[in-house]
Chains A and B, each alone.
Chain A
Amino acid sequence: AQSVTQPDIHITVSEGASLELRCNYSYGATPYLFWYVQSPGQGLQLLLKYFSGDTLVQGIKGFEAEFKRSQSSFNLRKPSVHWSDAAEYFCAVVFMNRDDKIIFGKGTRLHILP
């Protein structure tokens, strides 16, 4: 079955530390891949996306993500987090044979320690 998984519900890191949020998908081909961020009570902001080409994608706010076909993963990274990065992060996937609908992971809540 086609699915997207974010295995970590909560992640806590210290300010200034590096961050990696995991995302895996199950699909027979390469889907379109996205990372969104949601602050409390807000909508979703697109951080970055992957359609094809270079597997290392740069996004806004200093985030990057790497697509690894062999692992069916699209992990989000940031070398040094800031307190303002505390939010909910959603990995999202478009499977092309499902009417182009976005399927969201369950989200990972990022907590930042001062």
Chain B
Amino acid sequence: GAVVSQHPSWVICKSGTSVKIECRSLDFQATTMFWYRQFPKQSLMLMATSNEGSKATYEQGVEKDKFLINHASLTLSTLTVTSAHPEDSSFYICSARVIQGKLTKNIQYFGAGTRLSVL
């Protein structure tokens, strides 16, 4: 299956600093990538949809100035948590969508996730 690499897997930072998380599709091109946030023992919450070459589409309630998303190439999307605070501590997961044939089959392959701890 398709492989999605997410880096770093764990990051600890001081309050007020910015953190960048990378999501790469290793063996396929992904015009669309997704960023999710997962709180402990909960399901995934979609934060934004990242389309290559265009601005990301954010879900309601997600601050786009806090969570900057860049999708500069067909294999890389980045999420930058700006001026991080302890409440931003969470597990962040990206996914990349594979398109099969003429129809968008919407098979999403997920990265391993990034655990962010803000002190």
Residue B109 contacts which of A46, A100, A101 (CB distance < 8 angstroms)? A46
Q: A63 contacts which chain B residues (CB < 8 A)?
A: none
Q: How far is the CA of A46 from the CA of B110 in the complex (A)?
A: 8
B interface SS class? strand
User: A94 in the interface, Cβ–Cβ < 8 Å?
Assistant: yes
Interface string of B77-107 (1 = CB under 8 A from A): 0000000000000010101010000001111
Q: Evaluate contact between B1 and A46: CB separation under 8 angstroms.
A: yes
The minimal Cβ–Cβ distance linking A103 to chain B, given in whole angstroms, is 8
User: B108 in the interface, Cβ–Cβ < 8 Å?
Assistant: yes
Partner-binding segment picked from A67-75, A77-85, A104-112: A104-112
Q: Evaluate contact between A100 and B42: CB separation under 8 angstroms.
A: no
Q: Evaluate contact between B6 and A43: CB separation under 8 angstroms.
A: yes
The minimal Cβ–Cβ distance linking B44 to chain A, given in whole angstroms, is 5
CB within 8 Å of A: which residues of B?
1, 4, 6, 34, 41-44, 46, 49, 91, 93, 95, 97, 104-113, 115
How big is chain A's contact interface, by range? 20 to 34
Residue B107 contacts which of A42, A49, A90 (CB distance < 8 angstroms)? A49
Counting chain B CB atoms within 10 Å of each CB, which of A41, A44, A46, A104 scores highest? Answer: A44
User: A51 in the interface, Cβ–Cβ < 8 Å?
Assistant: yes
Q: A46 contacts which chain B residues (CB < 8 A)?
A: 1, 107-110
Residue B93 contacts which of A32, A44, A49, A100 (CB distance < 8 angstroms)? A44
Q: A12 contacts which chain B residues (CB < 8 A)?
A: none
Residue A101 contacts which of B6, B42, B46 (CB distance < 8 angstroms)? B46
Q: B44 contacts which chain A residues (CB < 8 A)?
A: 44, 90, 104
Interface string of A34-70 (1 = CB under 8 A from B): 0010000111111001010000000000000000000
The minimal Cβ–Cβ distance linking B99 to chain A, given in whole angstroms, is 10
Residue A107 contacts which of B43, B104, B111 (CB distance < 8 angstroms)? B43
User: A102 in the interface, Cβ–Cβ < 8 Å?
Assistant: yes
Q: A42 contacts which chain B residues (CB < 8 A)?
A: 112-113
